[in-house]
Structure 1
Amino acid sequence: MREELQTAETARSLRAITDELSGRYLERDDVVRTLVVSVLAGQHALLLGPPGTAKSELARELTGRIEGGTYWEILLGKFTSPTRMFGPIDVAALARGEYRQVYEGRATTADIAFIDEIFKCSTAALNETLGLLNERLYHPENGGAPIHCPLISAITASNELPTGEDSAAIYDRLLVRLEVGYLVDPSNFAALVRSAVERPEPAERTTIGLAELRHVVNVAVPAVAVPDPIVDAVCTLRASLRRKELVASDRRWRQSMRLLQASAFLAGRQEVADGDLAVLTHVLWNSPAERPLVEREVLQLVNPDAKEALDLDDAIAELEVELDARAGRSREELSEWAIKEANKKLAGAGKRLTAMRSQATTVGRSTTTLDRVITRQRAVHARVLTEALGVDASLVQAQL
């Protein structure tokens, strides 16, 4: 009973950490939650996006909430040697005729790791990096017995997708793939700019202990039940994706089940529910171009409103493309299009999305996708108001 109470308290702390980070990093709610789920599942994640999107800062802030754990971080380059990652040669011992490596402070002893520019891993370090990610093993330079590494999870980051076979091998080992872009909501961007000159109030900073985390990863999450209807839904999803020539390996599907269990645990449940399937949106694509297709198939299993929300997203995207195409035309023509067509459609989409979100909240469904589409609607609507109708940017929020 005491252990159950402790586990429940740990779950509450993890939810608090998720909420705190989501409040700090704008438009990153889904990214933050999925990263936490990835760590709880004992899996590795990739943050993929351009420079300046707080990938490194977010990874450090999350891993810094784990007390008592050994944290290791590295920025990889094409000439990074295995010894720099896993332990340098002990020069003093070498002078005595002994060949030893110093493992302290390296990947070999890390509980949590952040690996920046993961796809720039050198050829020399490739096999050992794969061994760390796959089996949590390191094979010493002197050919001694493999060393077991205590790594729970690695968060990795890159500005670009892998281009060669070596980096593709690492890419395949990163179960969770998260796209991180620049802010799109004008009000969020304004808040970001203000934060550069305002003195922030001290924020709450919930933490958990390493022992608590290991218990969750090794005991509590694997104990979460996966009912037959969830297994059936996963099988249905696999068949649906294969019909669209989106094929994931059997290993990836199998590892994904632990993500579903971790998602349920984070939500405070002892059984996987339909809403947990949404995490698969970040698992089953290889290129960013495939992600919307995967998202549509996954969400149709999770949320009956998903198709309408994604259809609205497509319509909003088309309006943004048209706005770009009309940029070189006269202001009068642009204004006429905005008044007669774009503004009306965007306002209608905003009202419908808000109503759908309210309904989803009432019945306890995930609003992650709706929140993303709402953010896009607000961003495109703001562009129409400022670029086509000349509304003062400072008044855009009031207009919306």
Structure 2
Amino acid sequence: MGAHDVHDEQDTARTLRAISGELSDRFYERDDVVRTLVVTLLAGQHSLVLAGQHSLVLGPPGTAKSEMARELTGRIEGASYWEILLSKFTSPTRMFGPIDVAALARGEYRQVYDGRATTAHIAFIDEIFKCSTAALNETLGYLNERIYHPESGGEPISCPLIGAITASNELPSGEDLAAIYDRLLVRIEVGYLADPSNFAALVRSAVRRPVPQTRTTIELAALQQAVTDGVPAVEVPDMIVDAVCTLRAALRRRELVASDRRWRQSVSLLQASAYLDGRPAVAETDLSVLTHVLWDSPAERPAVEREVLQLVNPDAKEALDLADVIEELETQLDAMAGQSREALSEWVIKKAHNKLAMAGKRLEKLRLEAAGSGRSTAAIDRVAGRQRAVRARVLTEALGMDASMVQAQL
């Protein structure tokens, strides 16, 4: 790669970081989600041309899944974008191209592909696991090989899809849908806002006039260049290979087994993570992205996250230990529902207050240390949000403080 090419790649990475930052500012508590979606689009499948990976955003309704996808994909200038909300009755022709009725009247059988999945560079597929039986095989071919078989037969059509962002409120049921789930390399869980200050800002945003935001965009050609040339050029040092082998062994001891294909595909995610940060080689911090790759059910995700962070990010591992303390306090608060205010106050004074205060101070210190060392603060920030949320519950439910007073203290 020449000096000019390196300069272009650095510009592309800077632009993508700017886009990630703007989206993180807009969507509260979604920094890691946004970054992971960008990394996934960048992470090429080396056997295919101009092809990134696919992601699944898993979470309840009303968590900005579709809005994030639209806002991200809308920043790619020149890209053809297609989205659909699937149901059990969605036909393949609605997805890939309806029949041309005018041509049919002339005795010609053909499909209209413009504006459909067949011509899209980026796709957003909502409720992916409601894919109809009729559309299942074509959807798999579309995601796997980027091809579509026309209704009239003949040669398959090559689709320019770089990557698909998919979303669902629930996990798939049945072996047929499991095949689609397996093809979604990155799986990101989202939930409702945990931090009371972020929730308050969300409520305020509903009544305030929106302030014009900076809107950075990137050219489609620059993104394609990054996928095909920039990301594959990122080096993967032997120490990273050793770390991945160590992680695989640690997960196997916990009976968490990912396929060899999934491990192999994850290498491109590591390269994409380094590329986005403007680094020529993968570093240990990039391994954090694997927390979104190596689990099948959400129940397995915490164990995967602990093993990954124990390997690459000791301060985040400590934050997860603090999360256990915080969750235990919330469980105790739930169990005390209906008890007298005196009993609740005594519990706060003797147990909850000190533990929550100590956890908060330690999390602040861990975040400073992580940020100062260039490590990801995503896990620490998430736990800090939980600490503030539980503290707010303790103050309002156990001590009877007014919500506005609690907000001022937080």
Give TM class, smaller chain: over 0.9
- The residue that corresponds to 2:252 in the other structure is 242
Give me the whole-angstrom Cα distance separating, in 2, the residues matched to 1:53 and 1:277: 26
Give 1:280 shift: 0.3
Please point out which of 58, 63, 66 is paired with 1:53. 63
- The residue that corresponds to 1:226 in the other structure is 236
SS in 2 for 1:155: strand
2:366 matched to 1:374? Answer: no
Deviation digits for residues 280-316 of structure 1, max 9, x if unmatched?
A: 0001111110000000000011112233221111111
* Matching residue's letter, 1:122: S
2:350 matched to 1:340? Answer: yes
* Matching residue's letter, 1:168: A
* Matching residue's letter, 1:11: A
- The residue that corresponds to 1:189 in the other structure is 199
Q: 1:199-278 maps to which residues of 2 (within 5 A)?
A: 199-278=209-288
Deviation digits for residues 263-282 of structure 1, max 9, x if unmatched?
A: 00111101000000000000
2:365 matched to 1:355? Answer: yes
Deviation digits for residues 114-157 of structure 1, max 9, x if unmatched?
A: 00000000000000000010010111111210111000010001
- The residue that corresponds to 1:138 in the other structure is 148
Give 1:235 shift: 0.9
- The residue that corresponds to 1:71 in the other structure is 81
Give 1:92 shift: 2.2
- The residue that corresponds to 2:99 in the other structure is 89
SS in 1 for 2:204: helix
Please point out which of 16, 19, 22 is paired with 1:20. 22
Q: 1:90-109 maps to which residues of 2 (within 5 A)?
A: 90-109=100-119
Aligned residues between the structures:
400
- The residue that corresponds to 1:157 in the other structure is 167
- The residue that corresponds to 1:290 in the other structure is 300
Identity %: 77
2:408 matched to 1:398? Answer: yes
Give 1:186 shift: 0.7
Give 1:76 shift: 0.4
Please point out which of 176, 182, 198 is paired with 1:166. 176
Deviation digits for residues 54-88 of structure 1, max 9, x if unmatched?
A: 11101000000000000000010101000110111
Deviation digits for residues 136-179 of structure 1, max 9, x if unmatched?
A: 01111112101110000100011111112221111111011111
SS in 2 for 1:114: strand
* Matching residue's letter, 1:24: R
- The residue that corresponds to 1:4 in the other structure is 6
2:289 matched to 1:314? Answer: no
SS in 2 for 1:201: coil
Contact 2:316 2:377 in 1 (8 A): no
- The residue that corresponds to 1:39 in the other structure is 41
Comparing 96-105 with 325-334, which one deviates more in the overlay?
96-105
Unaligned runs of 5+ in 1: none
* Matching residue's letter, 2:8: Q
Give me the whole-angstrom Cα distance separating, in 1, the residues matched to 2:364 and 2:282: 27
Give me the whole-angstrom Cα distance separating, in 2, the residues matched to 1:338 and 1:332: 10
Give me the whole-angstrom Cα distance separating, in 1, the residues matched to 2:152 and 2:372: 61
Give me the whole-angstrom Cα distance separating, in 2, the residues matched to 1:305 and 1:65: 34
TM-score normalized with structure 1 length = 0.98
Deviation digits for residues 341-365 of structure 1, max 9, x if unmatched?
A: 1011000000011111111112221
Give me the whole-angstrom Cα distance separating, in 2, the residues matched to 1:341 and 1:67: 55
Cα RMSD (Å): 0.9
Comparing 93-102 with 281-290, which one deviates more in the overlay?
93-102
SS in 1 for 2:252: helix
